[in-house]
A and B are shown apart, each in its own frame.
Chain A
Amino acid sequence: MNDALRDLYREVILDHSRRPRNYGAMDAANRQSDGFNPLCGDRLRLFLLVEDGAVRQASFVGDGCAISTASASLLTEAARGLPEEEALELVENFRGMVAGESEPDGESLGKLTVFAGVRDYPTRVKCATLAWHTLRAAIEQSGETVKTE
Chain B
Amino acid sequence: MIAAPAYDLEKVRADFPILSEEVRGQRIAYLDNAASSQKPRAVLDAVDHVYETGYANIHRGVHVLSERATEHYERSRRRMAKFIGAQSADEVIFVRGTTEGLNLVASSLGRYALREGDEVLLTGMEHHSNIVPWQMVTDLTGAKVLAAPVTDRGELDMDGFAALLSDRTRIVSVVHVSNALGTVNPVDEIARLAKERGAYLVLDGAQAAPHLKLDVQELGCDFYCLSGHKMYGPSGIGVLWGKKRLLEAIPPYQGGGEMIRTVSFEGTTYAEPPAKFEAGTPNIAGPVGLAAAADYLDGLGIPEVAEHEARVREYAESRLSEIPGLRVVGTAREKAAVVSFVVDGVHPHDLGTVLDQEGVAVRTGHHCTQPLMERFGVPATARASFGLYNTEAEVDRLAAGLRTALEVFRP
Chain A interface residues (CB < 8 Å from chain B): 1-2, 4-5, 8-9, 14, 17-18, 39-43, 63-67, 69, 121, 123-124, 127
Contact = CB atoms under 8 A, between A and B. Distances in A.
B379 interface: yes
A60 B115 CA distance: 47
B347 A66 contact: yes
A42 B379 contact: yes
Contacts of A121: 353
A40 B365 contact: yes
Given A14-B408, A18-B411, A66-B350, A41 B380 contact: yes
Given A8-B353, A41-B380, A64-B347, A1 B366 contact: no
A136 B409 CA distance: 29
Given A2-B357, A4-B357, A67-B350, A41 B411 contact: no
A5 B366 CA distance: 24
A40 B357 contact: no
B379 A43 contact: yes
Given A14-B411, A41-B365, 16 more contacts: A1-B404, A5-B353, A5-B357, A5-B408, A14-B409, A17-B409, A18-B411, A41-B370, A41-B380, A43-B379, A65-B347, A65-B348, A65-B350, A66-B346, A66-B347, A69-B347
Nearest to B409: A66
A98 to B, nearest CB: 15
Interface string B373-411: 100000110000000000000000000000010011101
Nearest to A3: B357
29 contacts: A1-B354, A1-B407, A1-B408, A4-B24, A4-B357, A5-B354, A9-B350, A9-B409, A14-B408, A14-B409, A40-B347, A40-B364, A40-B365, A40-B366, A40-B380, A41-B365, A41-B370, A41-B379, A41-B380, A63-B379, A65-B347, A65-B348, A67-B349, A67-B350, A69-B347, A123-B353, A124-B349, A124-B353, A127-B349
A39 B411 CA distance: 27
B349 A65 contact: yes
Contacts of A63: 379
Contacts of A124: 349, 353
A1 B366 CA distance: 26
Contacts of B350: 9, 65-67
Given A65-B349, A65-B350, A41 B409 contact: no
Contacts of B353: 5, 8, 121, 123-124
The 5 closest A-B pairs by CB, nearest first: A41-B379, A65-B347, A65-B349, A41-B380, A40-B349
Contacts of B380: 40-41
A43 B347 CA distance: 13
Contacts of B379: 40-43, 63
